[in-house]
Amino acid sequence: MTPQTFASLIGEIRAKRPLIHHITNSVTINDCANVTLSIGAAPVMAEAPEEVEEMVSGADALVLNLGTLSRNQVNSMLRAGRTANSCGIPVILDPVGAGATRMRTESARLLIKRVRISVLKGNAGEIGALANAGGRVRGVDSRGLDGDPLDIGKEFARESGLTVVISGAKDIVTDGIRAAIVENGHAMMGKLSGTGCMAASLVAAFAAVCSDHVTSSTAALAAFGIAGERAAQKTSGPYSFRTALMDEVAGLLPEDVIRQARVRSV
């Protein structure tokens, strides 16, 4: 797991243009579509139960995002997730707001139980809530968890058989055996709604070309963090930063990742 490996995955995404099927939230759906395009993949946003199975059967990865949740959407997620499993397609679950309400927490747990999730990506509060580690969430924002996030993430990954990503000022990626800390990123990324959802889209794009989901998730977060650092150098406010962030993802070169990735194994 080296910067050279991360860089090669960007080339693979742009060469293969994998199709990333999203069942996601209405707040950030456009940003998720555009960041997927910017990295070189192809997005499709489809949640109607009448078509999700057919749509996901032609995709290369599936994102399930609980941001604006409904019972009908959960049913579509279950149908799409089971089809993705039968097709060998990686499933990325972003349990937005898990821990804030019973419905969100129970829906995330139901999806983990009924669908073989490849990567669970959430903030510390969301992961802590699902791991029964005292995760605290207000709205969709993390208020932390009880204990060390790395230890909790590793234990939860071992117990659940998932690759777990805990996003934050420093991102954690672990499958319970291996673990990496991604130190790329910028504080401006926390001042803009939707960067967590965009990160899930990039995790899916990288998972579509790499079956080692610790490596693929680490690469995705490093790439996104580098783009955030570069965008922050060119802007002074959150909305100009949003535009620059998309441009920097689109313009990111493999050699940029080799030079600028700050990742350590722990």
Per-residue pLDDT tens over the stretch 133-150: 755 454 444 555 666 888
More confident residue, 152 or 58: 58
Evaluate if residue 14 carries a pLDDT over 70: yes
Asked if residue 67 is part of any domain, the answer here is yes
Asked if residue 136 is part of any domain, the answer here is yes
- The CA distance from 137 to 134, in Å, is 10
CATH number at 117 reads 3.40.1190.20
Asked if residue 68 is part of any domain, the answer here is yes
The three-point CA angle 220-222-228 to 5° equals 105
**pLDDT for 17:** 97
Residues 91-95: what's their mean pLDDT? 96
**pLDDT for 193:** 85
Asked if residue 239 is part of any domain, the answer here is no
The candidate with the shortest Cα–Cα distance to 214, out of 148, 117, 119, 91, is 119
pTM comes to: 0.92
Domain holding 165, by residue range, is 16-176+187-212
pLDDT, the chain, mean: 92
pLDDT by residue (tens digit) across 110-129? 999 999 999 999 998 899 88
Query: How many domains is the chain partitioned into structurally?
Result: 1
Asked if residue 38 is part of any domain, the answer here is yes
CA atoms within 13 A on the CB side of 63: 37
**pLDDT for 54:** 96
% of the chain at pLDDT higher than 90: 78
> Can you read off the two tokens belonging to residue 47?
């949640």
Asked if residue 259 is part of any domain, the answer here is no
Asked if residue 236 is part of any domain, the answer here is no
Residues 25-46: what's their mean pLDDT? 96
Asked if residue 221 is part of any domain, the answer here is no
Residues 137-166: what's their mean pLDDT? 77
Residues 52-62: what's their mean pLDDT? 97
